[in-house]
Structure 1
């Protein structure tokens, strides 16, 4: 479908632009880490608050969307633990395989939903983020705990970071403003919306900057397993559930988009901090992001 290519093409070009900037180290080595923190702690939360505070969430089939997305995520999270002994990898590597299979790149997801279906897609995407971000963070931190890669001090810091997650807090604030009818009155609405508009283009460029082409040399059983789950099996199951549950076309497309997203670049930081295999995580992030440029349009064309 030509519309899919037109919608997703600019997003991928921004990611490739970021890859070039990262390769050329422009505008400097210290610029993008600071920019990523600004996006993560201010711009992207502002976008979520602006979207959720005034959105007609009643038009989104929240329960059925949750069944499709969270049900699939929990299914494959459990399956990975079942097949862990057969992978033949150590605990640190398994946590990276786990993150690669269940985490998703929020920037690409929200930008893609808005490009495909405008404000309706952005609203469904914001609801998807509100549903998935808390669950995926609990699952990933839990995988480090269960795998035994972090000590008691790191456990405390991880749980504290989970509670303070800016995306989770932004979703809670946006939902609260919506349910109470307060919304974003006066100048606050326009101000927060302007901040949010900067999140997606900058976030996509930052995704490209984070790519590590050298990491692509690592191709082992863990890489193939994580990529297979994330880019093929998970979207297939979500699409099946979306059809069974009778999701409307916008919700179905957004659910499929989020299921087929590459893993999050923030997974690399978590792997470094909590004792995961950071090299493997870099390979998964880079490989999945590049592969998704082909697989995402194919999945969305499948549903027409």
Structure 2
């Protein structure tokens, strides 16, 4: 978080919901703990509901955006997917992925970061209008 807030301490990053979810996801992927069906359904429904809520938040911010910095948005729209594709293509052989996994990594590498970057910019008040 030092990137978006130069005065941020290191340890509070572990209270960030995105970081917590990442670590919990890794732990579950490695350990494969048994989960009751009702809990899996509740987690899935909650996750499915969060995506539209984040998109609504992004849309509300974009409604107030001025088009003065449109060139920065175009550059970001081109550079971000190309960088993601390049990184995925470079990492795929190193990770020894099968062709299907490699294809998925490249596909997800080209997707825009969109909402999560906006949510972090909004949280730390670091030009959320430009990020949107």
Under a length normalisation based on structure 2, what TM-score does the superposition of the two structures give? 0.68
Structure with greater helix percent? 1
- Once residues 207 and 230 of structure 1 are traced to their aligned partners in structure 2, the CA distance between those partners, rounded to angstroms, is 20
State the shift of 1:207 in Å: 4.0
- Once residues 163 and 191 of structure 1 are traced to their aligned partners in structure 2, the CA distance between those partners, rounded to angstroms, is 28
State the shift of 1:251 in Å: 1.8
Q: Corresponding residue for 1:144? A: 4
Give the alignment's Cα RMSD to 1 decimal: 3.2
- Once residues 96 and 81 of structure 2 are traced to their aligned partners in structure 1, the CA distance between those partners, rounded to angstroms, is 23
User: Greater relative contact order: 1 or 2 (C-alpha under 8 angstroms, separation 6 or more)?
Assistant: 1
How many residue pairs align between the two structures?
Answer: 128
Q: Residues 84 and 109 of structure 2 are in contact (CA less than 8 Å); yes or no, is this contact kept in structure 1?
A: yes
Taking a change above 3 Å as real, the CA distance of residues 143 and 247 of structure 1, as seen in their structure-2 partners, is: same
Mark the runs of 5 or more structure 1 residues left unpaired by the alignment.
1-140, 283-304
Q: Corresponding residue for 2:40? A: 193
- Once residues 228 and 272 of structure 1 are traced to their aligned partners in structure 2, the CA distance between those partners, rounded to angstroms, is 23
Q: Is 1:232 paired with 2:92?
A: no
Q: How does 1:48-67 map to 2 (within 5 A)?
A: none
Is the partner of 2:126 in helix, strand or coil? coil
State the shift of 1:178 in Å: 6.3
Q: How does 1:265-276 map to 2 (within 5 A)?
A: 265-276=115-126
Taking a change above 3 Å as real, the CA distance of residues 169 and 247 of structure 1, as seen in their structure-2 partners, is: same
Mark the runs of 5 or more structure 2 residues left unpaired by the alignment.
none
Q: Residues 82 and 110 of structure 2 are in contact (CA less than 8 Å); yes or no, is this contact kept in structure 1?
A: yes
Taking a change above 3 Å as real, the CA distance of residues 273 and 239 of structure 1, as seen in their structure-2 partners, is: same
Q: Corresponding residue for 1:252? A: 102
Under a length normalisation based on structure 1, what TM-score does the superposition of the two structures give? 0.35
CA offsets per residue over residues 115-155 of structure 1, 9 Å max, x none?
xxxxxxxxxxxxxxxxxxxxxxxxxx23235xxxx5x4xx1
Structure 2 residue corresponding to 1:165, chosen from 9, 16, 27: 16
